[in-house]
Structure 1
């Protein structure tokens, strides 16, 4: 399974590199999201855009969020278009992974001169139960 995820994340990064090479930095995040979705489709990869994530606290709805892309129902992809990635961007992705129950994520930044990317994994700690609910990725 891990080799499959490694291969998939490599394909996603390759698609992102093609988008960045073609468009360059300077566009809004939404432009890169649409372009990446097109490139993923051209490579035969399935994806969902703008996946809703519903946060709950002790059974009460406390917020709604949207993840950029879910590829092959296995890798959550969060896009940025800023000069550099910050720790808070990685924390946001890990929170989305925890909320959805998806194990693997990619953080992609199209705003720098060259594509920046980081792979993140969901952290499971039994002493801290999930406080969020989302779609069923399986």
Structure 2
């Protein structure tokens, strides 16, 4: 099986920076806080690092050129990736599905699901495009 090169990843520099910030926040705050606390810390880090972001930006869901709803992810970073923050002891698949719905219902292809609720930080990376649909979503 061929090794994946960094060039094969979407936005490798940006995701590297974000991951670093997540680990910094987790190391400083630890686990056990509410989701909002981690989001506030991340917002501060994005501002300090001059990383452009929108918090809870309304993203339209379009069906045949008609807006049929909205999604509101925790963060949209540099208008490139969706970032969902959780602070739960157990990360159910429902949260992964939520991120996949955000990706397939919008123009964005990359999402990160981050859980601060455990002693160990959990970061899941998800790509959505026509060629690479998430494994956890299967057609009926």
Distance 2:109 2:86 in 1: 20
- Preserved contact between residue 55 and residue 76 of structure 2 (Cα < 8 Å): yes
Residues matched between the structures, number: 124
TM-score norm. by structure 2 comes to 0.78
| Paired position in structure 2 for 1:81 | 87
Deviation at 1:65, TM superposition (A): 3.2
| Structure 2 residue 125 is matched with structure 1 residue 119 | yes
| Structure 2 residue 100 is matched with structure 1 residue 66 | no
C-alpha RMSD of the superposition: 2.1
- Preserved contact between residue 94 and residue 123 of structure 1 (Cα < 8 Å): no
Q: As a proportion of its length, which structure holds more strand?
A: 1
Deviation at 1:60, TM superposition (A): 6.9
Distance 2:82 2:14 in 1: 11
| Structure 2 residue 15 is matched with structure 1 residue 9 | yes
SS at match of 1:100: coil
SS at match of 1:51: coil
- Preserved contact between residue 85 and residue 116 of structure 1 (Cα < 8 Å): no
When residues 60 and 75 of structure 1 are mapped into structure 2, their CA distance, relative to the original with a 3 A threshold, is: closer
Deviation at 1:124, TM superposition (A): 2.3
- Preserved contact between residue 35 and residue 87 of structure 2 (Cα < 8 Å): yes
**Structure 1 stretches lacking a partner, 5+ long:** 126-138
- Preserved contact between residue 74 and residue 104 of structure 1 (Cα < 8 Å): yes
Deviation at 1:17, TM superposition (A): 0.9
Which is bigger in relative contact order (C-alpha 8 A, separation at least 6)? Answer: 1
Correspondence 1:34-49 to 2 at 5 A = 34-49=40-55
**Structure 2 stretches lacking a partner, 5+ long:** 1-6, 132-140
TM-score norm. by structure 1 comes to 0.79
